[in-house]
Structure 1
């Protein structure tokens, strides 16, 4: 996948190279090749998802997701040092975390990076539509194409579990951070949480795709071509989802890369037990069936259960049981001149 490393998109610092072309429809032959190459799998899978990713995960750039992003950030990092002058999102996807943090006043200027050209393209389009000051690069997280000491903050959401060498990525994050700069990664699956989430998702997919074969419910079945493509992309998910994390082990990885003031926090137990079946159901049925009333119900259910997690379950359950783990740390400050 070296042809994607250090490639810039139009408008990015050091730009001028042509954009790599997204490949949104992986062929069966490409999928077979991707099983031996996790980085190729990430490109194909996320290029395939780029155009519909925000819809699939109910991502928006309004008050709902601004509040979510800023609350997640503050839950692990606190509110000191805001606004950060320049932040990079590692594995940005469509820009959900960075762009909503910018709208929430946490960050002034942003840079998006992702191994998927399709995702970077969508992230830059989203930033442009929002009028935000953002540049972008197609980039390997293990070799970030920015100079040392560039950023005040590095963020990421649901990215570390896609990266083959997590400790190498932490080292790169620390390299591009300014001395004393902070990183915040959220939305990473815990080892135990991923186990029950996958089982619930698989069961929900099987039930939905089989029950909708019944004549009375056939209008709830997605066209076969879409289901076949979803299955092909889902096959790649087994390759792109490389890691799950024990919170303590993740802390040790960051410390081993040279970070200081490292802290991991977990969230979502009850919310995950209900949220994963809902998300899987939404992916298995035609989008036009998901009315505003349904989406409001799903969102309110997640909010209520998240409140239960924070107010009650986080106080009595081990952090390893929760689905999401968030981690923060800082780059050691520059040595003081004698």
Structure 2
């Protein structure tokens, strides 16, 4: 079911240069413009799917910090849902029965609800600010989010809101947040890959590997907004302190992706810089198999010797007191 009773704003997928300029000084406007811009192509850009591959990925992130919980939760909320990747795949993986999605971007809510409908999942949605969640106290058994906390100006206030809408004893799980050290090397690798790829594909014999200049220019404008919407990076210990200060109990953070991130960021950037038809099944298999293999190395070997702050992604969970 959709939130048709609510008067949510319509998506705005094509920002003008003037709007982009204004958004550089207004982070919440930037959030809306950037994510509305990305909504219809976001799943393709990030290789998001709603099949076994991403169901296993989402469930793996959940189990990494909140394993051994009785499942399924009755009702779950995804904060900053994007296209619904995390919640919809968790629901398919048996974590929750019904769900609600919220995002500051109308375009993302629209796509998330469309994806839920296509999967036959019971999900409603609202356009909403994560610092003022539009649901009553004690509504949800579980709140989840993926790559959302680093977009929120006041993370502690948002976590207070999360705890407010959770039932006593309810749990939150946030994954996919950038660590401070991980973000440094990931951004450096991304910029270097983009620069090399766009320069090399100017050579005449590689011209058919170059995206049209208009698409590259649009990507550059989107990247300018991305620099505005990515507000935070996190030290895992500091993120735990923020969650505890917000009022959560049983707080625990874990990190993942070190070697996998060193491959993943150049791969994703290269995919964004060249025409998609140039990258066939073989490339996709290489990218996924390489990431999976290096993730195994991270989990089985490197996490025992590399400090957790050096890994790219941090996940955190906590519980609302009172049960």
Fold similarity call, TM over 0.5: yes
Within 1, Cα distance between the matches of 2:96 and 2:281? 31
Q: 1:37 aligned to 12, 16, 26, which one? A: 26
- Is the CA contact 2:82–2:103 (under 8 Å) kept in the aligned structure 1? yes
- Is the CA contact 2:8–2:126 (under 8 Å) kept in the aligned structure 1? no
Match status 1:209 vs 2:224: no
Q: 1:83 aligned to 69, 72, 77, which one? A: 72
Match status 1:11 vs 2:2: yes
Within 1, Cα distance between the matches of 2:89 and 2:45? 17
**SS state of the match for residue 7, structure 2?**
coil
Within 1, Cα distance between the matches of 2:208 and 2:158? 45
What does 1:159-198 correspond to in 2, within 5 Å?
A: 159-198=148-187
Q: 2:113 aligned to 108, 124, 128, which one? A: 124
Match status 1:95 vs 2:95: no
TM-fit CA distance, 1:270 = 0.1
Where do 4+ consecutive residues of structure 1 move more than 6 Å? none
Higher mean C-alpha deviation, range 317-326 or range 18-27: 18-27
CA distances 1:181-227 after superposition (whole Å, capped 9, x unpaired): 00000000000000000000000000001100001111010001111
Q: 2:9 aligned to 13, 17, 20, which one? A: 20
What residue number does 2:246 align with? Answer: 257
What residue number does 1:152 align with? Answer: 141
What residue number does 2:124 align with? Answer: 135
TM-fit CA distance, 1:273 = 0.5
What residue number does 2:221 align with? Answer: 232
Match status 1:274 vs 2:224: no
TM-fit CA distance, 1:172 = 0.3
TM-fit CA distance, 1:276 = 0.2
Q: Unpaired runs of 5+ in structure 1?
A: 1-9
Q: 1:310 aligned to 296, 299, 303, which one? A: 299
Q: Unpaired runs of 5+ in structure 2?
A: none
CA distances 1:103-140 after superposition (whole Å, capped 9, x unpaired): 00111001000000000000000000000000000000
TM-fit CA distance, 1:16 = 2.4
CA distances 1:148-191 after superposition (whole Å, capped 9, x unpaired): 00000000000000000000000000000000000000000000
Q: TM (normalized to structure 2)? A: 0.99
Match status 1:325 vs 2:309: no
Within 1, Cα distance between the matches of 2:5 and 2:226? 33
CA distances 1:227-273 after superposition (whole Å, capped 9, x unpaired): 11111010001100000000000000000000000000000000000
Within 1, Cα distance between the matches of 2:117 and 2:313? 30
Within 1, Cα distance between the matches of 2:8 and 2:132? 18
- Is the CA contact 2:2–2:123 (under 8 Å) kept in the aligned structure 1? no
- Is the CA contact 2:2–2:113 (under 8 Å) kept in the aligned structure 1? no
Within 1, Cα distance between the matches of 2:25 and 2:189? 27
**SS state of the match for residue 76, structure 2?**
strand
RMSD: 0.9
TM-fit CA distance, 1:81 = 2.2
Within 2, Cα distance between the matches of 1:40 and 1:324? 26
**SS state of the match for residue 301, structure 2?**
helix
